[in-house]
Every structure is written in structure tokens, then in C-alpha cells.
Structure 1
């Protein structure tokens, strides 16, 4: 009698990542993953205690990929910006996993590499050590929010996107100037959230770094 195939941790994570690419964290389950692998859920719990631990491991692989070959260059602001863009690009290629990172975080090697680089860059800025953890936290919250938001838009189907654009045009250009005077005034200059997202990403990050710089003695 032939026994069931024993899946390695990496093979399990590969399949989980593929399911997440074609679905989302809400519909993902250990049972669905087990079915995709042709096994039962109990065999997967030998590798991961629960769904959250599994999702964290998948997200951490994206962080590891982002940090692969990374070499810090430039001053502290250039280092933070370069890291942020690497994370943005890595999750941009697998947008369904961006919300997983933002929601579940990670505590494995990839996460530690990101933490280490950010903390080193902030220390190099001249900030007092007691302020570094708080500023680190603000940067990570900002990046996770921006990356997850952008990823959410990039996964919208073309027909849904066009429908959303039409709703945007109706809501903005059709605004009653009596009730929405400011909106009516700026209507022709308003742009949907999907426009110029890279520029907005860099400008928002630069503004946060400027606030940190202002705190350096």
C-alpha cells in the first residue's frame, strides 16, 4: 500500500502562496490548502499550528525575497526609501499577499531583516535611541497601509475598475455645488485613487522622513 506523499514546509508554502494569489486571505483556509495538496488538514498542522502562523510564514517569504541581495547605500533617508520601494515592488508582484503582511505581520527571518535595516538607518540619522522604536513603528505602519491599499486596487478586475471610474466621475463631476461647494470647485482637478500612486507613495514617505529629520538634535 502506497503512503501519502510527505510535503515539505517549502512545498506547502508554495501552494499556499499560489492559492492566495488567485484568492484572498478571507477565503483561504487550511482545509482548502490540504485539498490542493491532496492531503488532510491534520498533516499540515504538523508544520504550522494554525492558519495565522501559516499566513505569517507566507508573508515572510515575500520579505525575504525583497531583502535578497539588498545592500544599504546612501544616507539614512536614502536607505529607508530604498527599502520601502523594494517592499512595494515585492508585494506589487503578489498583491494578494500584501494584505496578509499588513494584517498578520511576521516574526521570522524576513521580518527581522526589514526591522534591522530600518532600525540601523534610523540610528544612523542621529535620532536619540529612545526615539528610534517609535519612529520605526510609524514608518512600518505607513508602509504597510500604503502597500496594502495599492495592492487592493491592483487586484480589481478590469470591468470592476471601469465601473469604479464611472462612479467616481458621477460622484465628482455631478456634485451639487450648493451642497458640496468645495467638491464642485475642485471637481475637474480631482483624480481617482489609482492615479500616480508611485509618486504619492514616495511623497508621503518623504514627508514622514522630513518629520523625523526635524526631531534630530
Structure 2
């Protein structure tokens, strides 16, 4: 049976300490079938498209918006994204939702954009109980709400981010498993009291190298853990 999947992307690393704002004009926007132009490249979006092709999904591509890292995002950007995403709702019913996210986007009046998007999705009756999977940047500032209301948001393992495509493939295959089996993993959120400068987050060196090794070992030793991020 072909599963029907709603697809969208919203990607921005917001630096709230920077002066100025990031207006709509700074964004690259793809709409509808334009998202499928990523097929075959090395991006996370291409990763999920490859799994969709492999599994025979019927995909409703809605909107993909991205901008380079910069200051606080104008509120209008969130509304343009939501309008684009919601334009696909009538193509349902859907079996699942896949989102290509960064995880650290903040608007002028919404400090947790990803959480707001998830909340709005869950408020739509036809989408309220659908599994949501997707990919996140390793540098995301992920809220409890974002994690606990989704089933499989998985972040990159490496910095530099050489594995975005592969991680998108993994999370898309997880969505396929959920839709096919009806079994849903539970996502658990934890926020250690640690703040590192960017120079300390490269995964080729410690401390991140050791932490990544430990995380992969925990996954391998516990069959109940799908992925630790």
C-alpha cells in the first residue's frame, strides 16, 4: 500500500544576539513540485525524497524555506511558511508528515518556531494523530514541546555536517516503519546544563568525539532505543 506523506522544510539558524532582523526577502523559497528538484543531490531534502521513491510514497510537497544564519526572523516568515504548508492539507488524508528543520529558528514574537509549527499541526484535526518524523541540525535549540509531540526528529551526528542526507534517509525510513507497523516510538527530551562555544562542538575532536561514541554505544546496547541525539 502506498503511504501518503506531507512534506515541508523550514531551515534557519537564528542568532538572537545579532542586530537587525531576517526579513522574507532573505529567504529562498520552493513551493509544491519545486521541492522535488532536490532529487539526487546531497541535501537532507533529497534524502527523504530517495526514501519516498524507494517505498512508493505518494508525497504532497508543500513548501521549503531556508536562509543563511542571521538575526531574529521577521514574523511574516512564519506565516508564509504556514500558509504554504497548509495549502497541502486538502490533499489528504495522510499517513505521516516529514519535516526538514534546523531546530534553532526564532521569530520576533515566537522564540520557538519549530515548536509553534508542531503545535499548529497538532491543532488540525486531520493531522493531530499522524506520526511526524524529520531531520534536525546538530546545532538546534530543541524545545521539549517539539520533541514530545513528534515521533522521530533525528539530528545530524557530525560537525562539520557531512551526514545530513544520510540522517534524513534514516528518519524517513523510521517514518515508513511507523506507518507500516502502527508502532510508534516515544521521544524523550532532556536538557543538560551545558553551554559550549562553537569551537567546542566539532565532532572530530573531544569532548564531542567521545560523547558521540558513547551515544552510538548506548544505541547498540539497548534495543529499545531507536536513536539518541
TM over 0.5: same fold? no
Between Structure 1 and Structure 2, the one with more strand by share is: 2
Q: Give the TM-score taking structure 2 as reference length.
A: 0.32
Q: Give the TM-score taking structure 1 as reference length.
A: 0.33
Between Structure 1 and Structure 2, the one with more helix by share is: 1
Larger Rg: 1
